[in-house]
Every structure is written in structure tokens, then in C-alpha cells.
Chain A
């Protein structure tokens, strides 16, 4: 769990904020980075209701589907594995709530492991089809569905957010630069634009609880203050 001042997106060096003022209406593929989304994985036999009570979102039981609620998305990753995605900075409160509600379940904060590329536009299905073996046609895929697969040989978690269509691609941190470049290259003949995304609304715990302040006021103890002019006692050198 990185602190704010340590945090850096894996796409920082691309300087995306310098390009996101461009016109997006003519582009066939519009891309954006959603930075620092909170991500928590859950593993175990979990009653879906207990997560609903703790976070305000149910766990999907059907494979490769997503449940949303309370500004969170719960993605099915496996028969005993889920990924819960939330707005930035929610991960600490989410893991706290889950660890309390689900003793004996693996609750892991994986926020820093991946970043999210949001793609939309009239050509997005065709461009994803250039490198992804999934059938993303509306007859087979659709809003509220997710899948783990590969895109341009890079492992991804794909989540279709709405029917526009708009896809969130959760990509591993070390592959984010490669995948962003891959998408840009794939879409270049048809027109690519970068857009800025406003931060999603903050997540609130169903039952708010106050946390003590992170940094107590600094007060050095007087006993450890060095005395001005004090001499360091000479160390005795053992005679050989």
C-alpha cells in the first residue's frame, strides 16, 4: 500500500495530461487512464451477503459477470476468487471492512499491481478484436460482463462497463506502457484521442467509523536532544 507521495502511475512518462484537451469527437478510439483505482482480491468460500453488508456490493455468482453498487464493482475471476474495484484511496477502508467481516478469508490489497485503461469509441470493438481472442460481439458479450484474457499477448482483465461500448482494461503495471502503445498503434489508422477522466465519486463505508489520525504531532523527547558543546567520550582502543 503506497503512500500518496510515493505513488506514480506506470503511464506517467507518457504525459497523458498534455494530450487530453484534444478533440475526441472525430476519433475512432478514445483512451484514458483511470489512475490508482482501489483493487482488492477476495479468495475463499464467501457468502455473498456478508460482502454486501460490509461494502454495499454483492459478489457475482455467475462466471465472468460483474455486480455494481455503492460506487464499487465486484468482478468474477474464478469460482472462489473476486476482484473488487473502487475509487482511488478506498482500498484501506475496504480491506479493513472485509477483514473484519470475513475472518479466515484471503483479503489482499492489489491496488498497485495494475492500472486501468478505459477505451471507448466507434471502432473500439474492431481494435480490441485485433489482439484479443474473446468474442466481444453484443450477442456474446455485453455490459456487466468481464473476462480474463490476453490483449496483444498481454494478460488483462476486461470489463465492459456500458453498451456504448466502453471497456475498462485492468492491465498489469509492468505491461501498461506496452499495452497503451499497442492500443495507440492499433488505432492510429482510424484516429486515436486521449481524454481526461474525472475522478469517480468517493466510496463511503456503509457504517462509517472514525480512524485515529495517521500522524500524531511531532514532539521530540527531551532526553534524546543532543546537548550543545557536549564532547564525545573517546573510545578505548584495545592494544594489540
Chain B
């Protein structure tokens, strides 16, 4: 069990949310990207032991997407920020 701080609804149980996976993946230009770059964009994801930026969706609540910076070792949530924002520097 994990409490996730939704920017709108406050702390809610993780069962109300859907994880959207790694955040801040930049789509390369398909006209110029090599096959390797495109495959990296499509399939390759970080799987860090430590700080990770993720997208989350409050599916059973306000139905809004937002970003979370989470430590995958101890599930500590280091930052919550808007879906349009870039990753905070301090949280790594």
C-alpha cells in the first residue's frame, strides 16, 4: 500500500491511480532518426534503483495526469509536479 499525493485531491491510495511509466521521453524526429534511435524511443525504458520520474493518472478520482519523482528503493515520493512541467533539478 502506498499513499500518492494527487495535486488536486491530496493523499489517496495507490489503487485509485494508474501508473503511466517513465516521464519526459522525447520523441525523435521520425524523418531523421535512425532505427536504433527509434527503437530506443519506443521500447527502451530506464529501470533505476533510486530516483525515478514517472507519470501517474488519478483514474478513480479527478482523472488528471501529473508527474511524480519517486525513489524506487523506499517508495519515498520526492516531488509532485504538473504534467506540463519538466523534471525538478533538486530531486535529481
Contact = CB atoms under 8 A, between A and B. Distances in A.
Interface residues of A, number: 13
Interface stretch (A147-155, A182-190, A230-238): A147-155
Given A77-B62, A150-B15, 4 more contacts: A64-B9, A78-B62, A79-B64, A148-B62
Contacts of A206: none
B33 interface: no
Contact of A78 (B13, B60, B64): B64
B76 interface: no
Given A133-B15, A133-B16, A149-B16, A79 B61 contact: no
Nearest to B62: A78
A79 B61 CA distance: 11
A48 interface: no
A217 B61 CA distance: 48
Interface of B: 8-10, 12-13, 15-16, 60-64
B9 A133 contact: no
A63 interface: yes
A79 B62 contact: yes
- Main secondary structure, interface of A, reads strand
Given A63-B8, A78-B8, A133 B62 contact: no
A134 B60 CA distance: 12
A148 B13 contact: no
A37 to B, nearest CB: 21
Given A78-B8, A79-B8, A63 B15 contact: no
Contacts of A155: 60
A77 B9 CA distance: 10
Closest 8 CB pairs of A and B: A133-B13, A78-B62, A63-B8, A148-B61, A150-B60, A155-B60, A149-B60, A78-B63
Contact of A150 (B9, B16, B63): B16
B15 to A, nearest CB: 6
Nearest to A78: B62
5 contacts: A63-B9, A79-B64, A81-B63, A149-B12, A150-B60
Contacts of B15: 133, 150
Contacts of A150: 15-16, 60
A9 B90 CA distance: 54
Interface string A75-101: 001110100000000000000000000
A12 B18 CA distance: 34
Nearest to B64: A78
The CB with the most chain A CB atoms within 10 A, among B8, B10, B15, B60, is that of B60
